[in-house]
A and B are shown apart, each in its own frame.
Chain A
Amino acid sequence: MEFFLVQLFNGVSYGLLLFMLSSGLTLVFSLMGVLNFAHASFYMLGAYFAFQISTWTGFWAGLVVAPLLVGALGMLVERVGLRRVHAHGHVAELLFTFGLAYLIEEAVHLIWGRAALPYHVPAALDGPLFQIADSPYPMYRVFMMLISVSMLVAVWLTLTRTRIGLVIQAALTHPDTVQALGHNVPRIFMLVFGGGAALAGLAGVIGGAAFVTDPSMAIAVGPIVFVIVVVGGMGSLAGAFFASLLIGCLQTFSVSLDWTLAGLLTTLGFSMGPDTPLWSVWSIKLSQAAPVLPYLIMVLMLIFRPRGLMGTRDE
C-alpha cells in the first residue's frame, strides 16, 4: 500500500508536469491551428533563463521572470516569423517552428555551452515534506503539483471569466466576426502564442531544477508532449489534462511491474522458454517497455478512437 501510494504521487506529479508542458501546446493549437514544434525548445529556454537569473538573484525571481521572458520571446517569434508563414498554411507553420527548434538548440549550445548546467532545487524546497509510512515524500514534488494545478486554474479562469478570454474564445471560431467587432485578431494570436510559450517556460523552470538542464532536454520531452496532445484529442485542454495524468501514471506504474508476455502466455497454458522463436520479444518486461508505452497508447488510440480522448474533430 505504501509503495502504491508513493508511486501514485510520483505518477500524478509527473503527469501534472507533463500537463504544464502540453497545455501551452494544446492552447496554441486549438486557437491558432499551429502545431508548435519548438514548444519543447521554449521549455528548455525556460530552464536556461531561470538558471541564469538564479545565479544572480536566486530561484524565486527566476520562477517569475523566466516564463515572462520566454513569453515575450514567443510573441516576438509570432510577430516576426509565424505571421509571415501563416499564409502558406499549417504545414509551413510547422516547418517554421521545426527550423526554429533547430536554431534554438544551436543558440543554447553557443551561449551556455554543451554541458549540463548546475541548476538545482532551491534549499527552501529541498528535503522531505511528509512521510508515507516509511517513505519520505519530497517537498519539491508537492511544489510542482501546486504550481501546475494553480496554473491550470488560472488558465481556465482567464479563458472563461475574463474579457480577453472570451474574445480569445470567440476568435477561435469566428475570427472574421471578432475582427469586424473591432478587436485586433493578429494581436490576440500573438498574445496566445506568447502565453503558450510562457507556460512551456514555466514548466522548464520547474522541470529543469527537478531533472537536468542540458541542451538535450528539448529533444527528450518533445515527442512525449506531442503524444499527449494526440492522445488527449487535438486541441482539447481537458483531454490534454487527462492524457498527461494517464501517461504519467501509466509510465510510473508500469515501471513497478515486471510482467512479461511470456509469463502471461505461460499462465494461459503455453510452454515458453529461451528457445521459443522471438523470445526476446516475449520476454520484454512491462517495466522495460515503460518508456515506449505512450507511443503504443497513441497507436492504439488512433486505431480505435482516432479523435483522441476528448477530441471533437475526427479530421
Chain B
Amino acid sequence: MNTTLRYRPLNLGRWLLWGTTALIFVLAPLFSDASFALTLLSQMGILIIFSLSYNMLLGQSGMLSFGHAVYSGLGAYIAVHALNFIGKGTLHFPVSLLPLIGGCAGLVFGSIFGYVTTKKSGTTFAMISLGIGEMVFACVLMFPGFFGGEGGITTNRVVGSAVLGVTYGPAIQVYYLIAAWAFICMIAMFALTQTPLGRMANAVRDNPERAEFIGYNTQRVRYIQLMLSAFFAGVAGSLSCINYEIVSAENVSAIRSGGVLIATFIGGVGLFFGPILGAILFTLFAIALSSFTKAWLLYLGLFFLLMVLYAPGGVAWLVAIQLPVLRARRLTDLLWPYSLAILAAAVCVIGLVGSVEMLYHAALESGGDRHIQWFGLNVDVRTPTPWLVTSALLLCGGLATRYAMQFVQRRWDTIQLALRQVAT
C-alpha cells in the first residue's frame, strides 16, 4: 500500500484555508460584546462538529440517518456523569479533555447500535436508525435513575483547581474550549477523508457492488465509519454538556436528529466544508429567524425542500460551482442574469413571506389584533387588498424567477461549453 505515499509540495492554499479558519475561531467573539452572541457562537461550534460527524455518514458513506442524536446524546449523558464524578473528587480528569470521555462513549454506543443498523444500507438503514432513535428516547425517560428523568442531569463545569487561570466559569473560556475542539475535530475528520477508509467509504457510497467485488466488506466499512462518526458526535455532545451544564432527554430526541440532518444537507453533503456552512446557517435560521417570526419552521421546511429539489449539493455546492467560472474570469458574464434572478426571487420571497405572515396572523391571532405593522405599513389582514397584493407578488415573482433561471441556465451552459473547449 506504499504507493499511496508520495511527495507533495507544501500546499499553501490548504495552510491558508486552515489558518484563516483558526483565525476566525479566535477572533469571532471580539465582534460583539453581548453575551447572547457568545452563546450563539458556542452553539455554532458544537453544531459544526455534530454536522461534520453526521456528514461522515450521509455525505461520505451515503448513509441517511434519522437517529444521529442518539450518539451525541448518550455521549453527553456519560460526559455529564463523568463531570459530576470529577466534581465529587472521585475521578481525576481535566475538564478540557472531557469530550474524549463523551467521544469514547459515543464510540461504544456506535459499536453496539451500529452493528445492527449498518447491516443494511440506503433507505432501510434510514428506517432502522429512526427506530433505534425512538427506542433510545423512550428508554431515556424510563430510567430516571441514570438519565435524571424529565429534569435531566445538571452539573457544574467549574470544578477542580484552575489550570493557568482557566476555570470555565466565564462563557468566553467555554467558547474557546469549544472552538479548540471544533478546530481539532475538523482537522481530524478532514484527515479521515484522506485515508484509505475515507476513500473506501466513498466507494461504498457510490457503488457498493463494485466495492464488494474488489474484496471490501461494505458492511464493515459502513460499521467503522459509523463508529468513528459516533465518536465525534459524542465529542459534540460532551461539549454541549459543558456549555449548557445540563443534559436532558431532548439531547437524544428525533427533533435533534432531524435538525442535524437539515443543517448538514442545507450546507452541502458533497463537500467537506458544506456541513460547517450548514451549521452556521442553521443556527442563524433557528435563533435569529425565530425571534422575528413564528413561521420560521415553515420557512426552514420550504428552504430545505427547495434545496432538495433544485440544489441537492447544498449551499457549498452552489458556491463551489462558481469557482471554475471565476477562475476563467467569466463570472462577469453571469452578473446580469444572476441579478435578474435574485431580483425576481426577492419579489417572490416578499410575496411569500407576506402571505405566510398574514396567514399565521389570521390563524393564530384570530379575533385579536388584526393589524400587522410592516416597515411603517399598517396592514389589516381582514381586507382583501393585502392578500391580493402578496399573492400577485408571489405569482409574478415566481414566474419571473422561472424565466430568469432559464436565462441563467442558457448563459451557464454557454460558459461551460466554452470552458470545456478551452480544456480540450
Does B120 interact with chain A (Cβ within 8 Å)? yes
Chain A contacts for B128, CB-based, 8 A: 230, 298, 302
- Interface segment out of the listed B33-41, B300-308, B341-349, B411-419: B300-308
When the two chains form their complex, are residues B139 and A292 in contact, meaning their CB atoms are under 8 A apart?
A: yes
Interface residues of A in 147-181 (CB under 8 A from B): none
When the two chains form their complex, are residues A103 and B62 in contact, meaning their CB atoms are under 8 A apart?
A: no
- Interface segment out of the listed B10-18, B130-138, B152-160: B130-138
Cross-interface CB contact of B127 among A96, A226, A315, cutoff 8 Å: A226
How far is B58's CA from A315's CA once the two chains are assembled, in angstroms? 19
When the two chains form their complex, are residues A226 and B130 in contact, meaning their CB atoms are under 8 A apart?
A: yes
Cross-interface CB contact of A227 among B122, B131, B143, cutoff 8 Å: B131
Interface residues of A in 218-232 (CB under 8 A from B): 219, 222-223, 226-227, 229-230
Expressed in whole angstroms, the minimum distance between the Cβ of B342 and any Cβ of chain A is: 22
Expressed in whole angstroms, the minimum distance between the Cβ of B116 and any Cβ of chain A is: 5
When the two chains form their complex, are residues B301 and A99 in contact, meaning their CB atoms are under 8 A apart?
A: yes
How far is B123's CA from A90's CA once the two chains are assembled, in angstroms? 7
When the two chains form their complex, are residues A110 and B298 in contact, meaning their CB atoms are under 8 A apart?
A: yes
Expressed in whole angstroms, the minimum distance between the Cβ of A214 and any Cβ of chain B is: 15
CB-nearest residue of chain B to A230? B127
Chain A contacts for B364, CB-based, 8 A: 113
Chain A contacts for B410, CB-based, 8 A: none
When the two chains form their complex, are residues A296 and B309 in contact, meaning their CB atoms are under 8 A apart?
A: no
Interface residues of B in 160-206 (CB under 8 A from A): none
Chain B contacts for A33, CB-based, 8 A: 123
Interface residues of B in 273-313 (CB under 8 A from A): 295, 297-298, 300-302, 304-305, 308-309, 312
Does B360 interact with chain A (Cβ within 8 Å)? yes
Does B142 interact with chain A (Cβ within 8 Å)? yes
Chain A contacts for B120, CB-based, 8 A: 302, 306, 315
When the two chains form their complex, are residues A315 and B131 in contact, meaning their CB atoms are under 8 A apart?
A: no
Chain A contacts for B119, CB-based, 8 A: 302-303, 306
When the two chains form their complex, are residues A35 and B116 in contact, meaning their CB atoms are under 8 A apart?
A: no
Interface string of A73-102 (1 = CB under 8 A from B): 000000001001100101110111011101
Cross-interface CB contact of B302 among A103, A230, A234, A281, cutoff 8 Å: A103
Does A280 interact with chain B (Cβ within 8 Å)? yes
Best-buried of A100, A107, A110, A229 by chain B (most CB within 10 Å): A110
Interface size on B, residues (CB 8 A): 45
When the two chains form their complex, are residues B131 and A81 in contact, meaning their CB atoms are under 8 A apart?
A: no
When the two chains form their complex, are residues A295 and B301 in contact, meaning their CB atoms are under 8 A apart?
A: no
Does B235 interact with chain A (Cβ within 8 Å)? no
Does A258 interact with chain B (Cβ within 8 Å)? no
When the two chains form their complex, are residues B123 and A94 in contact, meaning their CB atoms are under 8 A apart?
A: yes
When the two chains form their complex, are residues A223 and B305 in contact, meaning their CB atoms are under 8 A apart?
A: no
When the two chains form their complex, are residues A99 and B124 in contact, meaning their CB atoms are under 8 A apart?
A: no
Does A257 interact with chain B (Cβ within 8 Å)? no
Does A291 interact with chain B (Cβ within 8 Å)? yes
How far is B136's CA from A296's CA once the two chains are assembled, in angstroms? 11
When the two chains form their complex, are residues B304 and A102 in contact, meaning their CB atoms are under 8 A apart?
A: yes
How far is B142's CA from A295's CA once the two chains are assembled, in angstroms? 15
When the two chains form their complex, are residues B130 and A223 in contact, meaning their CB atoms are under 8 A apart?
A: yes
How far is B266's CA from A99's CA once the two chains are assembled, in angstroms? 11
Does B241 interact with chain A (Cβ within 8 Å)? no
Number of A-B contacts (CB under 8 A): 112
Cross-interface CB contact of B304 among A90, A92, A99, cutoff 8 Å: A99
Chain B contacts for A98, CB-based, 8 A: 66, 258, 261
Interface residues of A in 1-53 (CB under 8 A from B): 29, 33, 35
Interface string of B93-132 (1 = CB under 8 A from A): 0000000000000000000000010011111101110111
When the two chains form their complex, are residues B135 and A296 in contact, meaning their CB atoms are under 8 A apart?
A: yes
Does B363 interact with chain A (Cβ within 8 Å)? yes
When the two chains form their complex, are residues A102 and B124 in contact, meaning their CB atoms are under 8 A apart?
A: no
When the two chains form their complex, are residues A223 and B131 in contact, meaning their CB atoms are under 8 A apart?
A: yes
How far is B319's CA from A113's CA once the two chains are assembled, in angstroms? 39
How far is B133's CA from A291's CA once the two chains are assembled, in angstroms? 14
Does A145 interact with chain B (Cβ within 8 Å)? no
Expressed in whole angstroms, the minimum distance between the Cβ of B291 and any Cβ of chain A is: 18
How far is B145's CA from A226's CA once the two chains are assembled, in angstroms? 30
Chain A contacts for B363, CB-based, 8 A: 110-111, 113
When the two chains form their complex, are residues A106 and B142 in contact, meaning their CB atoms are under 8 A apart?
A: no
When the two chains form their complex, are residues A292 and B124 in contact, meaning their CB atoms are under 8 A apart?
A: no
Expressed in whole angstroms, the minimum distance between the Cβ of A294 and any Cβ of chain B is: 8
Cross-interface CB contact of A35 among B127, B138, B254, B298, cutoff 8 Å: B127
When the two chains form their complex, are residues B308 and A96 in contact, meaning their CB atoms are under 8 A apart?
A: yes
When the two chains form their complex, are residues A110 and B134 in contact, meaning their CB atoms are under 8 A apart?
A: no
Q: Say yes or no: A85-B312 contact (C-beta < 8 A), given A226-B130, A315-B121.
A: yes
Cross-interface CB contact of A315 among B122, B133, B142, B258, cutoff 8 Å: B122
CB-nearest residue of chain A to B309? A84
When the two chains form their complex, are residues B131 and A226 in contact, meaning their CB atoms are under 8 A apart?
A: yes
When the two chains form their complex, are residues A88 and B312 in contact, meaning their CB atoms are under 8 A apart?
A: yes
When the two chains form their complex, are residues B124 and A288 in contact, meaning their CB atoms are under 8 A apart?
A: no
Does B54 interact with chain A (Cβ within 8 Å)? no
Best-buried of B66, B127, B298, B312 by chain A (most CB within 10 Å): B127
Chain B contacts for A294, CB-based, 8 A: 131
How far is B134's CA from A171's CA once the two chains are assembled, in angstroms? 35
Does B408 interact with chain A (Cβ within 8 Å)? no
Cross-interface CB contact of B301 among A106, A281, A298, A299, cutoff 8 Å: A106
Cross-interface CB contact of B142 among A103, A288, A298, A303, cutoff 8 Å: A288
Q: Say yes or no: A91-B122 contact (C-beta < 8 A), given A226-B131, A295-B135, A303-B116.
A: yes
When the two chains form their complex, are residues B124 and A81 in contact, meaning their CB atoms are under 8 A apart?
A: no
Does A284 interact with chain B (Cβ within 8 Å)? yes
How far is B145's CA from A291's CA once the two chains are assembled, in angstroms? 20
Does B239 interact with chain A (Cβ within 8 Å)? no
Best-buried of B132, B135, B300 by chain A (most CB within 10 Å): B135
User: What is the interface of chain A, defined by CB distance below 8 A to chain B?
Assistant: 29, 33, 35, 81, 84-85, 88, 90-92, 94-96, 98-100, 102-103, 106-107, 110-111, 113, 219, 222-223, 226-227, 229-230, 234, 280-281, 284, 288, 291-292, 294-296, 298-299, 302-303, 306, 315
> What are 26 A-B contacts with C-beta separation under 8 Å?
A81-B305, A91-B122, A92-B312, A94-B123, A94-B126, A96-B308, A98-B66, A98-B258, A99-B301, A99-B305, A100-B305, A102-B304, A106-B298, A106-B301, A110-B363, A113-B364, A226-B130, A292-B138, A292-B139, A295-B131, A298-B131, A299-B132, A302-B116, A302-B119, A306-B119, A315-B120
Known: A85-B312, A298-B128. 14 other contacts (CB 8 A): A81-B305, A90-B122, A91-B58, A94-B64, A98-B258, A103-B305, A219-B254, A227-B127, A281-B143, A284-B142, A292-B135, A302-B116, A303-B116, A315-B120
